[in-house]
Amino acid sequence: MSYNWIHAEEFSMNSFLLLDRWIIEMICRDYRGWAEFADNLGIALAYNPAVAWYFMHKSPESKTYVDQIIAKAPGNLTADEVRRAEVFVLQAMETSVVYAYPEVMNRNCNYIYDWDKERLLELADFTDKIVLDIGSGTGRLAFAAAEQAKFVYASEPTGSLREYMRDRIKREKISNMVVVDGTAECIPYADNSFDIVMSGHVVGDHYDLELNELARVVKNGGYLIDCIGDDDKHRRPDEELLRRGFEVFYHVSKSGGDIYRYRKQITK
Ligand SMILES: C[S@@+](CC[C@H](N)C(=O)[O-])C[C@H]1O[C@@H](n2cnc3c(N)ncnc32)[C@H](O)[C@@H]1O
């Protein structure tokens, strides 16, 4: 399924040189059962030795796999055949490749550009609150919260996105927001540190692990918020969040999507 967040023909394999270890590892781990992808990745890496070197050194746990798929790549391909393989890989990995280009994310990802910050601000009173945003991306939620909050910590595991947010903070002279590394599974803060812990399009791979960790760092009486952006998708409420006691807020987006946002007050 393509989101059309990038037009792969416009991108080079060098895009992968801008991505972090966890993404390279994920690309080499999660798609092993997809033979067409593995074949194309093998060709793309075989004919881009610097990118192959980066994959193996940035993610040593992927080295054996990268060696294997490169070994299977035919040695006599034309430039057009190689480019077709590169474009296949870039398009298939567009949701990761786009992290290397935050401006493209803001421009092409409808969940970001079609979103109204009031959708977040109406979920809680952010005034004077200490807020943590998990998996901030380009900072859709974090910058909105910073307009009202006392202080916002924007946590993001992708380096290019952290740099993008730091540049924007500097450019706009924002004094109540910092950008930090971290994941939902391992938040580098002490228990009970925040009034509000929020995220969007992040929680869902490992509900218990992620939500326990988010709840750990929320103060007694504080809120967990899951606020996805607006898009055109038809979806149902997240049963896993409802089962865990989240309130749900529904609206139809401008492009006709079903948007559900979630909030839970944490009592300790
Ligand atoms: C689809 S983007 C959403 C960005 C932002 N929250 C928003 O809604 O605009 C998902 C973000 O989560 C980050 N991410 C990926 N895995 C993560 C994890 N395990 N914990 C925290 N963030 C993660 C990605 O780097 C990316 O910035």
Assess whether pLDDT exceeds 90 at residue 102: yes
Task: Please list, residue by residue across 82-97, b when 16 or more beta carbons sit within 10 angstroms of its beta carbon and e when fewer do.
Answer: bbebbbbbbbbbbebb
Strand-strand pairing, 258-265 and 247-252: antiparallel
Q: What is the mean pLDDT of residues 245-257?
A: 97
Ligand 1 center–CA 136 separation, angstroms: 6
Ligand 1 center–CA 71 separation, angstroms: 33
Cα separation, 146 vs 228, in Å, equals: 18
Query: Tell me: the pLDDT tens digits for 193-224?
Result: 999 999 999 999 999 999 999 999 999 999 99
pLDDT of residue 46: 98
Assess whether pLDDT exceeds 90 at residue 173: yes
In the chain, which segments carry CATH 3.40.50.150?
110-265
Torsion from C-alpha of 116, 5, 226, 142, nearest 10 degrees: -60
Ligand 1 center–CA 201 separation, angstroms: 6
pLDDT of residue 224: 98
pLDDT more than 90, % of the chain: 99
Assess whether pLDDT exceeds 80 at residue 248: yes
20 in contact with ligand 1, CB cutoff 6 A: no
202 in contact with ligand 1, CB cutoff 6 A: yes
pTM of the complete model beyond 0.85 = yes
Cα separation, 148 vs 198, in Å, equals: 15
Task: Please list, residue by residue across 20-41, b when 16 or more beta carbons sit within 10 angstroms of its beta carbon and e when fewer do.
Answer: bbebbbbbbeebeeeeebbbbb
Cα separation, 59 vs 29, in Å, equals: 11
Which residue has the CA at smallest separation from atom 9 of ligand 1? Answer: 140
Assess whether pLDDT exceeds 80 at residue 1: no
**Amino acid, single-letter form, for residue 244:** R
Own/partner contacts of 6-12, CB < 8 Å, gap of 24 or more, are: 6/90, 6/91, 6/94, 6/97, 6/98, 6/101, 6/104, 6/108, 8/86, 8/87, 8/88, 8/90, 8/91, 8/94, 8/97, 9/87, 11/90, 11/97, 12/86
Ligand 1 center–CA 215 separation, angstroms: 18
Which residue has the CA at smallest separation from atom 20 of ligand 1? Answer: 183
183 in contact with ligand 1, CB cutoff 6 A: yes
pLDDT of residue 2: 81
pLDDT more than 70, % of the chain: 100
What CATH number does the domain located at 110-265 have?
3.40.50.150
Cβ–Cβ under 8 Å, residues 240 and 217: no
Cβ–Cβ under 8 Å, residues 133 and 141: yes
Cβ–Cβ under 8 Å, residues 180 and 160: no
CB proximity list for 234: less than 8 A, separation 6 or greater = 257, 258
Query: Tell me: the pLDDT tens digits for 55-88?
Result: 999 999 999 999 999 999 999 999 999 999 999 9
pLDDT of residue 43: 98
117 in contact with ligand 1, CB cutoff 6 A: no
Ligand 1 center–CA 156 separation, angstroms: 7
